[in-house]
A = this chain, B = another copy of it.
Amino acid sequence: MLAGAERGSRLGKDEFKEVVPALRVDLLNAQFDLTGADFPVMVFIAGDDRLAGSEVVKRLHEWMDARHIDTSVFGDRRPEEEGRPALWRLWRAMPARGRMAICVGGLMRQIAARLDGRIDDADIDAWTGHLEAFQTELLTDGGLVVKIFLHTPADEQRARLESGGDGASTWRVDARDWEMLDTNAEARPYVERFLRRTSAPGAPWTVVEATDPRHRDVTVARAILDALTGRLAGPPPEVPSAPVEMFTSRPGETTALAGVDLSARMSRGDYRTRLEKLQRRLHGLSLEAREAGLPTVLAFEGWDAAGKGGVVRRCTAALEVGDYRVVPVAAPTVEELRYHYLWRFWRALPRPGETVIFDRSWYGRVLVERVEGLASAAEWQRGYDEINDFEAQLVESGCLVQKFWLHISREEQLARFEAREETPYKKYKITDEDYRNRDRWEEYDGAVDQMVLRTSTDAVPWHLVSAEDKQHARVEVLDILTSGLKRALKG
């Protein structure tokens, strides 16, 4: 793909002067229209020419209204990125609908790491796979993706460096450019493979010859302008999403939840002793986790009134304030709706040594959003793979991830709803919605069944906890959590 761009394209000074004013007006108009649009724009700029990338971004800031562009440069990892998945910074850079983000760099650094032997082909492969998934998620969510690769033929770069840089930017040339030039040759096959693999319908790579700044800047600006105006003019291109074979639970067929033994009970005495023992253990392990910098993500799902809150409190009671955060997940806020549905969960990920507890989670996509028709069939169907990839990234980054479904019988739920109405302050927890949800019990049962089937992975299996007896549920969750922590701290 690079060879194809090596054709010595140049743009004359006069022609440049002639085309630029109109180009700028068009860019500003497109930017203005974007502010009213309902999709985000992510422009990725990679390349084998360090200076070119830097100059192109400055040019775009000059030609467009910088106020409406969020620019992120992916250099070496920042302190706050430690212990977070590699794509965490991409999610942090993701723009809201109606906004544009420019992301610069990242690729050549990753390849350099491979050439230095700091990572191997499998790592590159996993990383590329996650990027593909990320790109698909953006596209299927209606996002516009523009990808530019700035390529300057090696001989051109050598010539420029030997001449000490072109004119005004002599002083910008330094050792790093010579190093890059050397690695570019070795890097090339990796670049080629990456560009091919990540080219997708709706998100092709535009390889731009960066030798001549005028040609380079106008070509990049045009590529962005064309993509933007095209997208503003019509609906997004159909993204072919792989057909999802569904596990429909036929009547009579036992569901995952049907297998849960609701008769499990625990006496007050046993509860007291075991709870005390487990909390003591959890406290000790959490201090070790803090030392070791082990991040933990816990997701709690379950029927309304299954006792999630009580379980969460029994966990946090053993943790020290500052070592954990509880993230209650309700319907997305107006701001959250301006982003991909996974965005708010990426934002809440733990730092090293921290435990983040999600009271309800990203599984809402394939539960309430599916059953209540808040997500389209296509949306919740691709949700399974999106969620699996999300959790895989967490695990690969060294995070402990555990997910629990607290199961109770429909009768027990009704009893608890009624009991709640007795205690004044619990009324605040109960709304008519809870009652409406009860009518869709079977649908939720089926949705849970498919969720368990499709998102139980070896790394992050579903723990279906019998919560008919609250004491039993609390002890079981603490038991699973502490064993998981112990293993994670050993491994």
Q: Check: A284 CB closer than 8 A to any chain B CB.
A: yes
Within the complex, the shortest CB–CB distance from A232 to chain B, in Å, comes to: 17
Once the chains bind, are A321 and B54 in contact (CB under 8 Å)? yes
Within the complex, the shortest CB–CB distance from A159 to chain B, in Å, comes to: 21
- What is the CA–CA distance of A61 and B171 in the complex, to the nearest angstrom? 57
Residues of chain B within 8 A of A171, CB atoms compared: 279-280, 283-284
From known contacts A53-B321, A279-B171, infer whether A326 and B28 are also in contact, taking CB-CB under 8 Å.
no
Binds B, one of A62-70, A137-145, A209-217, A432-440: A62-70
From known contacts A57-B321, A313-B58, infer whether A425 and B28 are also in contact, taking CB-CB under 8 Å.
yes
Q: Check: A317 CB closer than 8 A to any chain B CB.
A: yes
Once the chains bind, are B58 and A322 in contact (CB under 8 Å)? no
Q: Quickly give the copy total for this chain.
A: 2
Once the chains bind, are B22 and A424 in contact (CB under 8 Å)? yes
Binds B, one of A1-9, A74-82, A192-200: A74-82
From known contacts A67-B328, A171-B284, infer whether A21 and B424 are also in contact, taking CB-CB under 8 Å.
yes
- What is the CA–CA distance of A376 and B113 in the complex, to the nearest angstrom? 56
Q: Check: A104 CB closer than 8 A to any chain B CB.
A: yes
Once the chains bind, are B58 and A317 in contact (CB under 8 Å)? yes
- What is the CA–CA distance of A458 and B187 in the complex, to the nearest angstrom? 51
- What is the CA–CA distance of A335 and B280 in the complex, to the nearest angstrom? 43
Hey, what's the 0/1 contact readout for A22-41 against B, CB within 8 Å counting as 1?
10110010000000000000
- Of all chain B residues, the one with the shortest Cβ separation from A167 is B276
Q: Check: A122 CB closer than 8 A to any chain B CB.
A: no
Q: Check: A423 CB closer than 8 A to any chain B CB.
A: yes
Q: Check: A490 CB closer than 8 A to any chain B CB.
A: no
Within the complex, the shortest CB–CB distance from A147 to chain B, in Å, comes to: 17
Within the complex, the shortest CB–CB distance from A139 to chain B, in Å, comes to: 26
From known contacts A25-B424, A80-B79, A424-B21, infer whether A322 and B105 are also in contact, taking CB-CB under 8 Å.
yes
Within the complex, the shortest CB–CB distance from A47 to chain B, in Å, comes to: 12
Within the complex, the shortest CB–CB distance from A89 to chain B, in Å, comes to: 12
Hey, what's the 0/1 contact readout for A254-285 against B, CB within 8 Å counting as 1?
00000000000000000000001001100110
- Of all chain B residues, the one with the shortest Cβ separation from A325 is B71
Q: Check: A403 CB closer than 8 A to any chain B CB.
A: no
Q: Check: A316 CB closer than 8 A to any chain B CB.
A: yes
21 residue pairs A–B, Cβ–Cβ below 8 Å: A21-B423, A24-B425, A25-B425, A25-B428, A28-B425, A53-B321, A58-B313, A61-B316, A67-B328, A71-B325, A73-B321, A73-B322, A75-B322, A78-B80, A78-B351, A79-B80, A104-B322, A105-B322, A168-B279, A170-B280, A171-B280
The 5 closest A-B pairs by CB, nearest first: A79-B79, A73-B322, A24-B425, A171-B280, A54-B321
Can you add 16 more A-B contacts, CB < 8 Å, to A22-B424, A73-B322? A24-B424, A25-B425, A25-B428, A28-B425, A57-B321, A61-B316, A61-B326, A66-B328, A67-B328, A73-B321, A78-B80, A79-B82, A168-B279, A170-B280, A171-B283, A171-B284
